[in-house]
Amino acid sequence: MAMLLFAVTRQESDSQAVVEWAADQQWSSGKVGLLGVSYYGATQWRVAARNPRGLTAICPWEGFTDFYRDFTRHGGILSNAFINTWWDKQIAPNQYGLPGRAASGWCPDTIEGDLSSEELTHNRENLLNGPRATLFRDGDCYSTREFDLADVKVPVLSIANWGGNSLHLRGNIQGFIHAGSEFKYLRTIVGRYDLPFYSDESGKVPVVTLTLRKGDVGFNNPLAEKLYNTRDEAEWPIARTKYTKFHLAPERTLTEDKNTTAGEVSYPALGNINDQHFVQFTTAPFVEETEITGHAVAHLNVSLTRDISGQAPADIDLFVTFRYIAPDSKEVHYTGTVGDPVPVAKGWLRVSLCQVNTEHPHHCEWRPYRDYTSKAYSPVMPGEIYPVDVEIWPTNVVAEKGGRVVLEVASGDTQGAGIFLHDDPQDR
């Protein structure tokens, strides 16, 4: 029976069997490599963690490594829109036995012929159903998809895209950091997810190669993006990084002066892409060129206030965006996953899941580690103040003299969310 499933143990074992079969063939050198973009990048990590016989190297290109944090629940908030679109347009039309595949030009018809609608329904698991029904990482939907990056032992070339700040970024960098491989390499790129994969490049691979986003070259312009410089590094995170604290002020400024006046700002809860609610904090113009490269955290103190009728939302969903304003006072947009305009970086957090596990070996000040389990859940009460650290996905921007950066805190998706909306009516 052909089952349509996603990121499950059965798929990993099948992939392991294929690798070992290829390695054993008479025509084979016995050395097998894996290469692929997006989902075909994500699956490589999972297969490599099994260490199949013959697997020699992997090149996961813009995938993800964490089914919960990177893909389905950003900061605990369901990332539903992309999953729905991907399922409807690219996964479901591939189901084995679906009538009319060849006639539609999608792919060949199946050998055994068409399956009935009842059989098709029985043979698939809708990708969104599990994440929608499972809020926590210790639920079956997630616990059965866990694996340990430290089990990946083969050489790795991990490709992360700065513009993939809702899917094709965090996992590749986490994979590079935590893979157990002796030989592992990281490269950050820009551009639409499907174009750089086919670029004609070769040569010796440095440990880390970073694309540096300086200036405004527009978005979805592959030729202009070649103007960005690159720089090789010996490690990630960069050892010489100077972690600098900026402080929020009631005047909605962002400053290195820690003696800012105490105060508060407010905005309506439960915003969405069509009804955006946010506050922005802006730095003064930089007095010299300043590079911002690495991991960032937004430390916020947040609370719920009842409305005039005495009602309050059941939780606080934080949507944090990092934007860059050029010296000409125009925001610079970069190329997103599908060629859409995106800001510098994004981060998310559902406050009821804000508990940080400081004892976990992956926890550090610049990347707080959360378990996102049912035991870590704590209800949010109106009037209580909650100090939270929001992980902002790793990023890079070179701020020019006269440029400014903006930290935006919102109650829903804002510009740059693109196809990665968080607007499921059951989750929010």
pLDDT tens-digit series, residues 266-300: 999 999 999 999 999 999 999 999 999 999 999 99
Token code pair at residue 177: 């950091």
CB of 290 within 8 A of CB of 213? no
Residues 395 and 341 in one domain: yes
Residues 97 and 64 in one domain: no
Q: Is residue 272 part of a domain?
A: yes
The type of residue at 377 is: Y
Q: Is residue 424 part of a domain?
A: no
Higher pLDDT, residue 157 or 107? 157
In this prediction, residue 308 carries a pLDDT of: 79
**Confidence band, pLDDT 50/70/90 cuts, at residue 1:** low
CB of 145 within 8 A of CB of 65? no
| Strand order, beta sheet including 32-37 | 32-37, 55-61, 156-161, 184-189, 208-212, 229-233
**Confidence band, pLDDT 50/70/90 cuts, at residue 148:** very high
CATH of the domain at 222: 3.40.50.1820
Residues 273 and 335 in one domain: yes
For all residues of the chain together, what is the average pLDDT?
94
**Confidence band, pLDDT 50/70/90 cuts, at residue 104:** confident
**Percent of the chain at pLDDT above 70?**
99
| pTM of this structure | 0.95
**Confidence band, pLDDT 50/70/90 cuts, at residue 202:** low
**H helix and E strand count, the chain:** 8, 18
CB of 352 within 8 A of CB of 378? yes
In this prediction, residue 9 carries a pLDDT of: 84
Residues 269 and 400 in one domain: yes
Q: Is residue 425 part of a domain?
A: no
- Asked whether residue 203 carries a pLDDT value surpassing 80, the answer given is no
pLDDT tens-digit series, residues 209-267: 999 999 999 999 999 999 999 999 999 999 999 999 999 999 999 999 988 888 999 99
Residues 63 and 94 in one domain: no
Residues 186 and 332 in one domain: no
Three-state SS at 77:
strand
Residues 175 and 126 in one domain: no
CB of 55 within 8 A of CB of 18? no
- Asked whether residue 199 carries a pLDDT value surpassing 90, the answer given is no
Q: For the chain, how many structural domains are there in total?
A: 3
Strands 184-189 and 156-161: parallel
The type of residue at 207 is: V
In this prediction, residue 269 carries a pLDDT of: 93
pLDDT tens-digit series, residues 288-346: 999 999 999 999 999 999 887 888 889 999 999 999 999 999 999 999 999 999 999 99
Residues 273 and 228 in one domain: no
Higher pLDDT, residue 103 or 65? 65
Give the other-Cβ count within 10 Å of 10's Cβ: 9
Range of the domain at 123: 77-134
Q: What is the 3-state secondary structure (H, E, C) of 217-243?
A: CCCCCHHHHCCCEEEEECCCCCCCCCC
Give the other-Cβ count within 10 Å of 287's Cβ: 8
CATH of the domain at 295: 2.60.120.260
Q: What is the DSSP letter of 308?
A: T
Radius of gyration of the chain (CA): 23
CB of 175 within 8 A of CB of 156? yes
**Confidence band, pLDDT 50/70/90 cuts, at residue 93:** confident
In this prediction, residue 36 carries a pLDDT of: 95
Token code pair at residue 18: 């294929």
Token code pair at residue 37: 């973009």
